[in-house]
Amino acid sequence: MINSTLRLQRVDPGFDPANVMSFDLSVSEGAPYVERLPGGDIERATPRVTAFYRQLLEKVTSIPGVESAGSITPFDFGYTFLVLGRPAPAPDKMPTTGYKEVSPSLFRTMRIPLKKGRYLSGSDLPGTPWVAVVNAAFARRYFPNEDPIGRRLLLRYTDVGEKQPRQIVGVVGDVKWFLGDIQPDPVVYVSYLQLGSDFRGGSIMSHLAQIVMVRYASGLGSRAGALSVAVKKAVAAVDPDQPVTGIMTMEQSLARSIGDAQFYAHLLEIFALIAVLLAAIGIYGSMSYFVAARTHEIGIRVALGAQRGTILAMVTSLGLKLSLTGVSIGAALALGLTRVIARFLFGVTATDPVTFMAVGCGLLCIGLLACYVPARRATKTDPMVALRHE
């Protein structure tokens, strides 16, 4: 668990989290932003949704000290898709991908690297050919031996597909919003400026709810706290009834994403320390009893000329045998029991040999240290006292 926590803290999220604050927003799923169409579960987003986020980003970007701002949906709806020009697979074999609705400025705001092609642009509008940007994981999985730039995708959510295909115009680096994600999933990024108006099955939430990312100047320093007040004022200027929640820095957000792993690691650390303490006390007590019970024997050995090194070796050898036996039994039990926490591990297996060796050697050292005091006492036994000992 400690190893997992250390590895999680060293994970590259795929963007620069420094000097970035995030704000959760979600316009109302009703008038004036949404119309529910009769005869089904289709909801129609009005132009007010796009206008709200466009005006908000413009106002936030104009705040003194703000370098850039972008938005991304917090939801990750699973979409199926077709690659035009390829044979259509069976319905149950359709490829799947994550789907993120973003503002064109998000990639530069978060400093997500461009691997190939171009980013989304503010000129990508509903009246122009629809485009998309995919992450590197998408390109590796679905275009392993070809260039994805220029290929066209027809995205589909549940049983409803988009009205027109999207052309892949760029490939960006993989992003881990949660550091515990072992392997990045394929993701398609589309612009919130270039969408249809009709949504089905609750997918409209990917359009209504957005996380606004604000990158501020590094020189802002202690005044960065005032940024949240300025953003709230900007939101109120666009829609006074719109609440702002989830205000935090990206570094806090990433730390929260590994909070469970850290909690379990700290909990197990406490139990481990108690176990080590009890083991040390137990070995010390056993060795003390062993020395006391053999005081007469030790006195005779010393009287007959036994060297202190011989007595020390005799006592510590027993302690070493007991420690080796305990470590062997513990390792055998741990091989089975550690599978219980396997799902909490990151970047390390439940049977990691380095961990087992390190812990085993550590316990042996503690055992030998616990043997040292009674063994040292045994080497100083006065033969005359020992011979009179009952």
Q: Where are the domains of the chain?
A: 2-257, 260-388
Cα 47 to Cα 127: distance, rounded to the nearest angstrom = 14
Q: Token pair of 32, please?
A: 């004036």
Cα 390 to Cα 386: distance, rounded to the nearest angstrom = 8
Q: Which residues of the chain have pLDDT under 70?
A: 39, 158-160, 180-182, 201, 220-224, 259-261, 385-390
Q: Token pair of 146, please?
A: 């070809």
Report which secondary-structure segment, H or E, holds 256: helix 250-257
Q: What is the pLDDT of residue 225?
A: 73
The partner residues of 216 in beta bridges, in order of sequence, read 66
Where does the chain show beta strands of DSSP type E? Answer: 20-26, 34-36, 42-45, 66-72, 77-83, 96-102, 114-117, 131-135, 152-157, 160-161, 166-172, 187-191, 198-200, 209-216, 245-249
Q: What is the pLDDT of residue 159?
A: 66
Q: What is the pLDDT of residue 150?
A: 95
Q: What is the pLDDT of residue 161?
A: 73
Cα 232 to Cα 168: distance, rounded to the nearest angstrom = 35
Whether the bond into 129 is cis, omega within 30 of 0: no
